[in-house]
Structure formats: structure tokens, C-alpha cells
């Protein structure tokens, strides 16, 4: 049972935008601007997409963006492409440890 | 370039211990924390703990307290994760992953090490 709650699945058509939510509590997501997002393709290691809520590492497409409101963080992916089909995980500092969300499977229709 | 290269797959008996290594290169080893994260087949990511390669201090997730030990060897820029009293539920891919702050999610990840626990 993950401390952070994500929808199990989302889907969208090429070119569309989707948003994945990550709901925590006032002890983690709501208390720290230390939310990260990862993309994981089957059989591969996770890849960092967003850190500190809304910052993108060098080399990550600007189609990925992050935000936070209260205890819920969100990852928005615009201009969906076939290669975006993957699992996505949020991650937050909890004051003493790191916690991951349960993951969301993105299907590009 | 940053590289985290992990040791190879392991098959272990229940009750045994396994030690996975993670050799870092391409950056200053002692300037970044190292996390260990595991992923059971078809499941999500589970944070196991973190080690500070500079001083060797560790913080373990409650689920693994008493069973996991993280160590480092600064002479070879390698961190190790040992998990004891293995059970079938420990079958998973184990990843090392670095971060600049202990409160940050990791930025670079190793390739993963599959540990299979089976009698």
C-alpha cells in the first residue's frame, strides 16, 4: 500500500493532453516542494521527468510539466506521442524518508 | 557521464542473504546520496533506504528495518545493499539511484539487479 495515491491508469489519443494526479497528505506532498515524477518503460529503469514539483532536468521534453495544489501533485503531458506509453510514478519527501506512488499506466490509444 | 553499474542477477534460497553492489562513476561519489529502491514483478517502486557515501550514515524504511544493511567503499566508489532472511516476497528488481539531497527523489538510476528467491 503506497503512501501516495495515483490513478491506476489513464489514456489519451496522440496529440491530446493528459494529467496524472498524486495525492498525499499534509505530511508529505502538502508540506514539501519535493515532488518528483518518473517515467518507466517495460524492462527499463525509471527516468526522472520532473523534480521539486515543476522543474525539468536538462534533456527532458517541455511536453512534461508538473504542478501542486495542497496535498495533490500533478504531472501533465501534452501532445501525446506513442512513445509516451509507459508507467509513471510520483515520489515525495515525507520528512524522514522518500515515498513513491503506486504508479499510473499511460495508454496512448 | 554519470553511470551506476549494478552487479548481476542472483538466485537465492529462502532464509539466505543477498548482497547487491552498485559502482558509481562520472561524478564525485561522496557528493551524492544513494537510494535503494525495489520493484517486485508487475508492481510499483518501493523505497528501501538511503546511504550517505561521505560518512556512511544510513536511513532505512520501516518495512526493512533489521533486515537491510547499506554500506559503501569510497576507495572503489561502490555502495552495497545486503538483505537478509530472504523470503519469496523479496523477489524483485533492486535499483540503486543517486540524489544530491537526502530529501530529493533520485536523478540517475542503475540498471537494476534481479533477485529471485526460490527453493
What percentage of chain B reaches a pLDDT higher than 70? 100
For residue A37, the number of C-alpha atoms closer than 13 Å in the C-beta half-sphere is 29
CA distance B86 to A78: 43
Q: Which of the residue ranges A93-97, B12-16, B85-89 would you say has the lowest mean pLDDT?
A: A93-97
C-alpha count within 13 angstroms, C-beta hemisphere, residue B73: 8
If you average pLDDT over residues A59-76, what whole number do you get? 97
Residue B116 forms beta bridges with which residues? B11
The predicted pLDDT at position A3 comes to 79
Chain A residues 59-98 with a CB less than 8 Å from chain B: 89, 91-93, 96-98
Q: What is the pLDDT of residue A2?
A: 59
- What are residue A84's phi and psi, to 5 degrees? -80, -10
Average pLDDT over residues B48-60: 96
- Is pLDDT of A1 > 70? no
Interface mutation vs chain A, best among B105, B107, B109, most A CBs within 10 Å = B105
The pLDDT, as a whole number, for residue A56 is: 97
Amino acid at each position: 500500500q503506497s503512501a501516495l495515491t495515483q490513478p491506476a491508469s489513464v489514456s489519451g489519443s496522440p496529440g491530446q493532453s493528459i494529467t496524472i494526479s498524486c495525492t498525499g497528505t499534509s505530511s508529505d506532498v502538502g508540506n514539501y516542494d519535493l515532488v518528483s515524477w518518473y517515467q518507466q518503460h517495460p524492462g527499463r529503469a525509471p527516468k526522472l521527468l520532473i523534480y521539486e514539483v515543476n522543474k525539468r532536468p536538462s534533456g527532458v521534453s517541455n511536453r512534461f510539466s508538473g504542478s501542486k495544489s495542497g496535498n495533490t501533485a500533478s504531472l501533465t503531458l501534452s501532445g501525446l506521442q506513442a512513445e509516451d506509453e509507459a508507467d509513471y510514478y510520483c515520489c515525495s519527501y515525507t520528512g524522514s524518508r522518500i515515498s513513491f506512488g503506486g504508479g499510473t499506466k499511460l495508454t496512448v490509444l | 557521464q554519470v553511470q551506476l553499474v549494478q552487479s548481476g542477477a542472483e538466485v537465492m534460497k529462502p532464509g539466505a542473504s543477498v548482497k547487491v553492489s552498485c559502482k558509481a562513476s562520472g561524478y564525485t561519489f561522496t557528493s551524492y546520496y544513494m537510494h535503494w529502491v525495489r520493484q517486485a514483478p508487475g508492481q510499483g517502486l518501493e523505497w528501501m533506504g538511503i546511504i550517505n557515501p561521505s560518512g556512511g550514515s544510513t536511513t532505512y524504511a520501516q518495512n526493512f528495518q533489521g533486515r537491510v544493511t547499506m554500506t559503501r567503499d569510497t576507495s572503489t566508489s561502490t555502495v552495497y545493499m545486503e538483505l537478509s532472511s530472504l523470503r519469496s516476497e523479496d523477489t524483485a528488481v533492486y535499483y540503486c539511484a543517486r540524489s544530491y539531497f537526502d530529501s530529493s527523489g533520485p536523478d540517475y538510476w542503475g540498471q537494476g539487479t534481479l533477485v529471485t528467491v526460490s527453493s
